[in-house]
Amino acid sequence: MGKICILILLLFDSVLAGKKDVFGIHSITFDTADLTVISTVDIKAELWGQTHECNNCTLIKIKDIEPPPSSQNRSRIQLKMDTRYPTRLTVIPVKQHVINSNPDCSIPNIHFMENRNYSLFVNFNSNNDNHTISCNLIKPGDLDLSYVPILVAIGIYIALAFLYMLFSTALRNQWIYKICCCLGTSRLVNNDLGAPGDPVSETVNSISPADNNKKPKSRRLKSLDTFRGISIVIMIFVNYKGGEYWYFQHSRWNGYWNIGLTVADLVFPWFVFIMGTSIALSQNALKQKGMSTSRLFQKIVRRTVILFALGVFMNSGGFHRLVFLFLSGLDEFLILGRNDLKNLRIPGVLQRFSVSYFVVAMLELICSRSSHGQYDLITPRWYTPFRDVIEYWIEWLVMAGLLVGYFCLTFFLPVPGCPTGYLGPGGSIQLEPNITLTNCTGGAARYIDEWLFGVNHIYQHPTCKVIYHTGAFDPEGVLGSIPSIFITFLGLQVR
């Protein structure tokens, strides 16, 4: 029964995957346009192209353009083109296996609009052995409306936020009560004696001696909670494909316009920054309650182990693993588990959280002093801007050592078969003369992860794999944990 359920799930996933665009970047359900290639070329030609997202990449062959049938004077080809990034196209004639390119039939940068129909007319002129091909791309005149849904959603959220702030201000300033009083005559009658429904009198009368004995509520840093809430909302939105908009998905590598950064790429740095601030606030609160250093150490170690274990559990299948255990039984579960251990991914998002948390929390526990954050009235004015650096000089020295080690390993560690200091995506189609960059994704970062964990225990499907034709690369590897630790430390500094 369990095998049947798994087979149904796999079949369902394959149906959802569907067909891909010509570059194989994503499903044709979203972010695609229709391109009809209409050719009058009486010899075989080839349509070559490349997405602008693939930085410094060679063109790849998209489709053969066959000569039109004898009964017709033109041939047609239907293609699905990517609309997330600009595309460059060119048509190359082929005669006797010799390719002669013509710049007149090259379209350097065309940004297709979603769900629009385009036509590429390929005309051919022959003069002895000189073959001339000209191209004419017909674009639709309508505007690109694919961004309208997200703009409408943002507008609705802004309007709701404005109404909420207006309503909160009205309640706080008692605007509603004042308006109601102005519309009636009861205010004139009860002006001197006070109305039974007067909010001031009710507030005074409602205070009882028992209320004075209540413990004050714990104070929260509202700015930190707001920042955390925004990050969680964006994280959930991104994890559910972000409406299929490219800027709500992780950058392939260099990113649109080679920026290499999208909204999705900001969520993780935001979280580790928030974690750093929370470390400082949490430790200060626990110290004020009298918790000993040994108890704080145990708390830090326990939280680190839990985060790391949860990360490994999620890499092993998480909830789906428990469902499989329920459906297939313990025996098949154990057999599959032994096989999966050979390819279990060790690094991960929660694992990097745990490492960043442990280093910064231990540093704060060991090096912090009771004077941190307490400002003296006689402190010189020149000293105030540098106070955090001077009082935390040990922590800053440790961070500087980590960053120096990070840059030395990144730019000076020899990586077999790769240029020293290379930071690109590598891949088989990367344009580098006389240099093979197939296994050079990430440079030293990937080399260190393979040396520590093995190629089977790092992430097998990086975002750059589809476009750059790369192998395994882990975006949460060991070397990249050092910048995460530093960002966490910066969050601790702004407490």
Enzyme catalytic residues: 250
* SS3 of the chain: CHHHHHHHHHHHHHHHHCCECCCCCCECCCCEEEEEEEECCCCCEEEEEEECCCCCECCEEEEEECCCCCCCCCEEEEEEEECCCCEEEEEEEEECCEECCCHHHEEEEECCCCCCEEEEEEEEEEECCEEEEEEEEECCCCCCCCCHHHHHHHHHHHHHHHHHHHHHHHHHCCHHHHHHHHHCCHHHHCCCCCCCCCHHHHHHHHCCHHHHCCCCCCCCCHHHHHHHHHHHHHHHHHHCHHHHCHHHCCCCCCCHHHCCCCHHHHHHHHHHHHHHHHHHHHHHHHHHCCCCHHHHHHHHHHHHHHHHHHHHHHHCCCHHHHHHHHHHCHHHHHHHHHHHHCCCCCCCHHHHHHHHHHHHHHHHHHHCCCCCCCCCCCCCHHHHHHHHHHHCHHHHHHHHHHHHHHHHHHHHCCCCCCCCCCCCCCCCCECCCCCCCCCCCCCHHHHHHHHHHCHHHCCCCCCCHHHHCCCCCCCCCCCCHHHHHHHHHHHHHCC
Q: How far apart are CA 28 and CA 55, in angstroms?
A: 23
User: What tokens were used for 242?
Assistant: 């972000």
- HSE-up of 177 (CA within 13 Å, CB side)? 11
β-bridge partners, 87: 51, 110
